[in-house]
Amino acid sequence: MTTTDPRKSPSPTTGPKDRPPLVTRPLLLRFISVFGASASFYLLLSVVPLYAKHSGAGGNGAGATTGALMLATVAGEIVAPRFIERFGHRVTLGAGLLLMGVPSLALTMFSGVAWITVVCLLRGAGFALTVVAGGALTASFIPSERRGEGLALVGIVSGVPSLLGLPLGVWLVSEVGYAPVGVAAGVCALAPILSIPGLPEKEYIAGRRIGIMDGIRDRAIARPAVLFAVTALAAGIVVTFLPLAVPSASTGLVAVALFVQPAGAAVARLVAGRLGDRKGSSRLVFPGLVVSAAGMFITAYTSSAVAVVVGVAVFGIGFGIAQNSTITLMYSRVPASGYGTVSALWNIAYDAGMGIGAVCFGVLAQQVGYPWGFVCTAALIVLALPSAWRDRPGARGREVEEAAV
């Protein structure tokens, strides 16, 4: 049996006069925890490996800390819906912020890989709880008629600290040391807890539960998540290996490219959100993958500065379209009681896709080189296009009929 509820899909014909307000008091309160959690996470994302190396760990030890962070994040996203079911969205969100904040304050109390790994595990689990529980609440605060636009706006709020936090954290370490940066990351996570009591709760937790396995078995939910994972895989490759793929004399080029990619994604999310609300998000998944593949093909020409910048910009646009259209589509296909599961599956696709992409591409690039590795990544996205084609509005009805048999 499918969990699909076509009645939840926003009508693409809704007129501007009929559109309900988007920015409400609950959503504004939610922005506080969105911004704080993202700022805390990204401030320490590059700082923790540096601290591990500073504490005597080698390159492998520093890498293990990031691996522990991502492993705990994915594991936490898997179990988060159970926590939501038992304790509710607000308690789960508060617990996640607490798990992110307290270990950050204590980061420099001890040194050594073992201690730093424990901090990373706790922070990863906390981040998972915040994105799953917080994502489910956020979807509930946004009118279904404007879900795409609302989720794009939330993406911008979380994207700004991610864009600035990475370089800011590293710069602050060089200026003031590790302890103040850890404290700053802790405060960013703990302060938003004060906003949680103002978030509505009870009207969003009633209804039949949809578990992780239910979501995986439902092709209408799982397919957009898998398609997004393919683009997330490519994003992990770009962020990790572009600095290694371009000539060593082009460090300025890498900085520009790594700024252009998320900037393009942010703009594309906003445009995709508005278009999706009017025309239907299912129409945008396929174009998002096409543009992403084109960007990766262009980026493969790593000897050209213009090609690299244009390529990652085009990929960023496609990635932003895929981001917004897939998460909006998944939310539209479940009742409100399934928002936690959708949030978990989409974030698992994001984190696992980026992690798998970084690991597998490293092996592939050793065999064929970086340019051909980018070509292979683009080809992988192309292979996902037939599945995206099936999520077109015309194919959607047939899928519902097949799932009901």
Instruction: Give the tens place of pLDDT for each residue, 120-177.
Output: 999 999 999 999 998 888 888 888 888 888 888 888 898 888 778 877 887 888 889 8
Higher-confidence residue of 21 and 178: namely 178
Q: What is the pLDDT of residues 171-205, one digit of tens each?
A: 888 889 899 999 999 999 999 999 999 988 754 44
DSSP 3-state of 160:
helix
Burial of 366 (0-12, 13-18, 19+ CB in 10 A): exposed
- CB count within 10 Å of CB 340 equals 31
Q: What's the confidence (pLDDT) of residue 400?
A: 42
Q: For the residues of 57-115, what is the DSSP string, one character each?
A: --HHHHHHHHHHHHHHHHHHHHHHHHHHHHH-HHHHHHHHHHHHHHHHHTGGGS-SHHH
Q: At what angle do helices 339-368 and 370-383 cross, to 10 degrees?
A: 140
Superfamily of domain 23-203: MFS general substrate transporter like domains (1.20.1250.20)
Average pLDDT for 255-281: 85
Does residue 314 carry a pLDDT above 80?
yes
- CB count within 10 Å of CB 336 equals 18
Rounded mean pLDDT of the chain? 83
- Comparing CA positions, the residue from 131, 325, 130 lying closest to residue 223 is 325
Does residue 252 carry a pLDDT above 80?
no
- Comparing CA positions, the residue from 181, 170, 186 lying closest to residue 50 is 170
Q: What's the confidence (pLDDT) of residue 5?
A: 45
- CB count within 10 Å of CB 246 equals 20
Tell me the chain's radius of gyration from C-alpha atoms: 21
DSSP 3-state of 56:
coil
**Phi, then psi, of 366 in degrees rounded to 5:** -65, -30
Alpha-carbon distance values, 217 to 67, 212, 213, 392 (Å): 28, 9, 6, 20
Average pLDDT for 101-119: 90
Does residue 55 carry a pLDDT above 60?
yes
Q: What's the confidence (pLDDT) of residue 185?
A: 95
Does this model's pTM top 0.85?
Answer: no
Pick the CATH number of 207-398 from 1.10.3720.10, 3.40.50.150, 1.20.1560.10, 1.20.1250.20: 1.20.1250.20
Does residue 232 carry a pLDDT above 70?
yes
> Where exactly are the structural domains of the chain?
23-203, 207-398
Q: How far apart are the C-alpha atoms of 324 and 25, rounded to whole Å?
A: 23
Q: What's the confidence (pLDDT) of residue 300?
A: 92
Q: What's the confidence (pLDDT) of residue 255?
A: 76
Q: What's the confidence (pLDDT) of residue 152?
A: 87
Does residue 57 carry a pLDDT above 50?
yes
207-398 shares the fold of 23-203: yes
Average pLDDT for 207-229: 83
